[in-house]
Structure formats: structure tokens, C-alpha cells
Chains A and B, each alone.
Chain A
């Protein structure tokens, strides 16, 4: 039996899904967190049934591609669980009436039931069940209340005989509402004032700036503390002795030694430089990137679950519009600051080909992932604003300018924003931590193999002399345009695999501040890592991906060269 979870966006389908199936899916407080169809299993009376989390829809008449996919799924289902937001009954019932038309066994999970008293709504649930001829089960998915009851009632669900004509649908909704719901809106509560203030320009823009600043400060403080007090001691006190012991077993300067442990510096392990699989290969993803990835997702989750993210989207909509995007495109960009892969996946939130192309290209060019940023902090941190500041300001300007140009060049339309703004909610910490750990686990699964592969290839290229040949071949570009030593080409080749690793390869070259800045910007811009590239290839198709790659390479050459010559004037 196939059981479907269907409902409006942001009514908590994914939370209900987590409760029912035990499979972890990510949920947030904004519409469109689930862009993919998630499948899991649920056991009822010892029988296993497939459970499907359908992306949110407002109506069974599709208005975009993503909705079409969701709506096509409905006919596959054997039982429909209609997840309804009790605080927004009117809109939910419009969909419920349409679902009834499918003539399938249906049951309503009346979610967020705990919130209705708070905002002055009361619902006569028994009457609602009777009128709709559908069993309505009040639940609070976040705490799990009512979920068992819901599960027990699934086998007894039946199709409803509620009859209406399509033209009369909203009238029917109105009729039902007037009978089952009484509203005593509390006017101008403090919460409402706060909600409104965060979307008014005069108060909202300063608030957005403060939120972003606090976000990045928190990420740095949490990430740095984790490194200083946990990961660094862990590697130095526990891992180094093991590695040195191993180093004694397989003699120094043999190929196996170079591969596993790398070069020792003064008989000690230098995790940044040694380039062994078990030293740099593990230290880069776990010791220096993971703490920042964790910190980033923790802070981002607070923003997602509190409901601030859609408000931020509204506040930046006017700027994004100048780049052929709309406010919602802030979500792929923010997610991309963590890791470009989820960022690239979330471009599905956007509707048209033009928007997807622009968002993906901008993401690849000018949104450095946390892995790259963490390594840049390490490499340029000592120069302060002069180093990191120039890199980030350059990337931001590139982001603006390329967006502005692409909007004019790329054919197609960019629709206006049309976005529901959810109420603020206090993040539910258990759910939030689960989400953070799901994402961190995902990062480890993606990153560690690629870094290890990268270290392996770097070693092979180096020992076989291929690196030398490539370096000679690309010398003119690196030396004359970008002002970098020709050896830097090796790092950029590695950047195809993992950018954090590439930074590691730049370190031993003892570059000047100017060269470090240019190399960082070029590394961030020229190409997304392999994992992101493969996702984008799937999302955009070969033709658009080739075009996008062309944009990346050309803009990198121009920006790198210009930056190099500006810095020669400025820094010398």
C-alpha cells in the first residue's frame, strides 16, 4: 500500500513524515523545503507500507513544473493523509476539497493544533469531520502528540462523498469555515508588531544587516572554538603519535610513506603541508572544515526554523530583481555558503530556466563554500581585512556585476516574487539538531572520499611528473596574466576535486599577499568542485552547463587579471 502525505507548503508534512517513518528528512519554517519526493516506510499492524512525502501544493491544478510532479503522484497513492495547518484552515480546505475528488481513502492530520488557541482560533473538529466525511485527527507533529492516533486510524480511512461543483469550491470552503471555526483575532499583539517591523524597510534593513553580521560572527566563534579546543588537540595529541609510529614502521621517503603520511617537516607531522592520505587527507575535511560546516548549519538552521529566511528573501528581492532573480534565490546562495551541492539542488525552488541558469552560475562563481572559506581564513586570516576583506568584497562585486550582465544576456523571463511568509516560530531544538547532523553527515559522506581521492591524485601527478608538464603548458596564463608562480596550476587542477585541498597545495608555495588574494579569488571563481558540477549538470542539462562553464572561465580570467594589476598598484 502506498500512503501519501499531501498538503499546502509549510504545514509540517516533513515533520509528520519524520514522525511516521523514522527516516530523516529536512524540514524548515518556509515553503518549499522539500523539492524532491521523499520515500520511507511505515509499519501499521505489522504490515510495511510505503510512505511518500509529497512536495507542498496549494491546488491540484499545477502552476509550475515542481507542482506538476507532486500532483502526478497523487494518482499513485492508495491512501492520502492530508496534512492541514490548523492555523490556516481556509487555504488548506481548498486543497482538501480538491483531494476528495480523487475518490481515494483520505484522512486529515490537523497539524499545529497547539498553536490555534494562542492566536485566538477555535475549531470544532468533530463537526469538521462530519461535514467533510473525513476523519480529522488533531496532531502536533513537533512534539508527536496525536501521531499514534493518526497511525491507528489510517487503515479505517475511506473516500469521502462530499459533493460540490468546482465553481462553488471557495463558497463551500467559506460555508464549512463559518460553521466550524470561530476567530477572535487578538489585534496588534507584540508578536505581530515584531513580524511587521521585520518586513518594513526602515526597520527591516538594519535588522537584516544585524542578523547577517551576528550569523557570521557566530559561525566564526563556534568554528574557531571547536578547532582550538577540540579538533586541533585531537589531531596533535592523539593522531600525531599514531602517525609517527606508523611512519617509523614504513620507512621515510618511500612511495608508500609519501602516499599515506607524506613529507615530515623536522621529523614532525605538518597537517597542512605533508599531503599524505592519513594526514592532510583526513585533517582538511575533519580538522579544519568540519567545525565550520557544523557551525554554519547550526546557525543557518536557526534562521530557517525561526521563519526569518523568507523575510530576508523579501528584503533582498529588489536587489535580486536587478540580477534577473527574485528574493527566494537567497536560499540557494545561503545554502551554497555552506556547501555548493545543496545550494545547487535548491535552485529547483526557482521557476524558469533563466532564473535557474543565473542562480547556478552565480552560485558557482561567487559563492565560496564553507570548506573553501575555512581554508581561506587559515591562509589569509593573519592579514586581516586587507587579505580576506579584499577577497570577499571582490567576490561580492563579481556576484553583482555578473548577475546584472546575465539578466540582460540570457533569454527568458524572470517572474516576480510571490512568497508566503510564515509566522515566527521558536526553533524546535531536537528537530534542529537532527537536521544539522543530517547535513553534517552528508558533508562527510561527500567530502572525505573526494579529499582522499584528491590527495591520491595529487601524489600521483606529482611523482609521475605530469604536474610539471601541465605547469609548463599553462605558464603564460598564470605568470603573465594572474601574476602567480607556474606551480599554482597544480593547486587549481586539484580545485576541480576539492577547493579546500587546493588551498592546501598553495600553502607551500610561499606566495605574497597579492598572489594569495588573486589565487583565492581565481580558485573560488573558475569552476565549481566536481560534486557541484555533477549536480548542476543534472539540473541544467549539458548545453546550459557548457554555457555556464564558459561564463565562469572567461570571468575568472578577466577578474583575476584585473585584480592582479590593481593590487600591483595598490599593495606595492
Chain B
């Protein structure tokens, strides 16, 4: 189990937990991203920049600290 931040680019993973507040969980849930969802990591920007993930047909940029709070199991 790793955070989305540490997750390698180009890998798929299943979300095992989201350790952020209700706000973050809600925002992600609205995008269809919650526990058990499959996500693909596209890239991570330099200088503590955002992480870009894909879920289904949705691409999403999330902040550095958010990415630290999402745990995934790599598949």
C-alpha cells in the first residue's frame, strides 16, 4: 500500500483508503473516486506541484497534500 504521491507514474491502483477530511472525501466521491475505485497515475509535477490521475474517462489534477492522503494498492 502506497500513497498516490509515491505511486509510480503509469501504474494502476485500487483505492484502499482516503485519509483526508470529509471535504476531500466528498470532492473525490463526486468524481466517482472512493474506496475500491481504480485509478491510473499519469504524472506528478515538480516543486510539490499537483498529481494527475485518471479514473474511467475523468482526468483530475489534485494537490500535493491531497495526493499524500489517498492510499492505493498497486495492481
Cβ of A124 within 8 Å of any chain B Cβ, yes or no, is no
Are A420 and B30 neighbours in the complex by a CB distance under 8 Å? no
User: What residues on B are CB-neighbors of A321 within 8 Å?
Assistant: 48-49
Stretch at the interface among A39-47, A192-200, A361-369, A554-562: A192-200
Known: A94-B32, A200-B42, A421-B61. A318 touches B48 (CB 8 A): yes
The 8 A CB mask of B10-54 against A (1 = contact, 0 = none) is 000000000000010011011110100000001101111110100
The 8 A CB mask of A56-73 against B (1 = contact, 0 = none) is 001101010000000000
| Cβ-closest chain B residue relative to A195 | B59
Cβ of A220 within 8 Å of any chain B Cβ, yes or no, is no
Main DSSP-derived SS at the B contact region = mixed
Within the complex, what minimum Cβ distance (angstroms) separates B22 from chain A? 10
Are A327 and B57 neighbours in the complex by a CB distance under 8 Å? no
Are B45 and A201 neighbours in the complex by a CB distance under 8 Å? yes
How far, in angstroms, from A458 to B64 measured CA to CA in the complex?
Answer: 52
User: What residues on B are CB-neighbors of A126 within 8 Å?
Assistant: none
Contact partner, A63, options B27, B45, B63, B64, Cβ 8 Å:
B27
How far, in angstroms, from A313 to B42 measured CA to CA in the complex?
Answer: 16
User: What residues on A are CB-neighbors of B63 within 8 Å?
Assistant: 326, 415-418
How far, in angstroms, from A95 to B59 measured CA to CA in the complex?
Answer: 18
Are B56 and A314 neighbours in the complex by a CB distance under 8 Å? no
How far, in angstroms, from A327 to B59 measured CA to CA in the complex?
Answer: 16
Are B27 and A418 neighbours in the complex by a CB distance under 8 Å? yes
Are A418 and B58 neighbours in the complex by a CB distance under 8 Å? no
Cβ of A25 within 8 Å of any chain B Cβ, yes or no, is no
User: What residues on B are CB-neighbors of A200 within 8 Å?
Assistant: 9, 42-43
Are B50 and A314 neighbours in the complex by a CB distance under 8 Å? yes
User: What residues on A are CB-neighbors of B30 within 8 Å?
Assistant: 58-59, 63, 91, 94
How far, in angstroms, from A416 to B5 measured CA to CA in the complex?
Answer: 14
Cβ of A317 within 8 Å of any chain B Cβ, yes or no, is yes
Contact partner, A59, options B26, B42, B61, B64, Cβ 8 Å:
B26
Contact partner, A318, options B31, B46, B57, B59, Cβ 8 Å:
B46
How far, in angstroms, from A265 to B31 measured CA to CA in the complex?
Answer: 65
The 8 A CB mask of A289-330 against B (1 = contact, 0 = none) is 000000000000000000000100111011101000011000
Within the complex, what minimum Cβ distance (angstroms) separates A358 from chain B? 17
The 8 A CB mask of A115-146 against B (1 = contact, 0 = none) is 00001010000000000000000000000000
Are B48 and A421 neighbours in the complex by a CB distance under 8 Å? no
Are A419 and B61 neighbours in the complex by a CB distance under 8 Å? yes
Q: Max chain A CB contacts within 10 Å: which of B42, B43, B47?
A: B43
Q: Max chain A CB contacts within 10 Å: which of B27, B49, B60?
A: B49
How far, in angstroms, from A420 to B43 measured CA to CA in the complex?
Answer: 14
Are B62 and A417 neighbours in the complex by a CB distance under 8 Å? yes
How far, in angstroms, from A421 to B32 measured CA to CA in the complex?
Answer: 15
| Cβ-closest chain A residue relative to B59 | A421
Within the complex, what minimum Cβ distance (angstroms) separates A167 from chain B? 12
Known: A418-B62, A420-B60. A196 touches B26 (CB 8 A): no
Q: Which of A506-558 contact B (CB under 8 A)?
A: none
Are B62 and A416 neighbours in the complex by a CB distance under 8 Å? yes
How far, in angstroms, from A88 to B64 measured CA to CA in the complex?
Answer: 25
Known: A314-B50, A314-B61, A420-B58. A196 touches B43 (CB 8 A): yes
How far, in angstroms, from A106 to B29 measured CA to CA in the complex?
Answer: 24
Within the complex, what minimum Cβ distance (angstroms) separates A433 from chain B? 28
Cβ of B66 within 8 Å of any chain A Cβ, yes or no, is yes
Cβ of A87 within 8 Å of any chain B Cβ, yes or no, is yes
* Residues on B facing A (Cβ under 8 Å): 9, 23, 26-27, 29-32, 34, 42-43, 45-50, 52, 56-66
* CB pairs A–B below 8 angstroms (14 shown): A63-B23, A91-B32, A170-B29, A314-B49, A318-B45, A318-B46, A415-B63, A416-B65, A417-B63, A418-B61, A418-B66, A419-B50, A420-B60, A421-B59
* Residues on A facing B (Cβ under 8 Å): 58-59, 61, 63, 87-88, 90-91, 94, 119, 121, 170, 173, 195-196, 199-201, 204, 310, 313-315, 317-319, 321, 326-327, 415-423
Shortest 7 CB-CB distances between A and B: which pairs? Answer: A416-B63, A318-B49, A58-B30, A421-B59, A318-B47, A200-B43, A314-B61
Q: Can you name 5 extra interface pairs (CB under 8 A) apart from A58-B31, A200-B42, A200-B43?
A: A119-B57, A313-B61, A317-B61, A417-B50, A418-B61
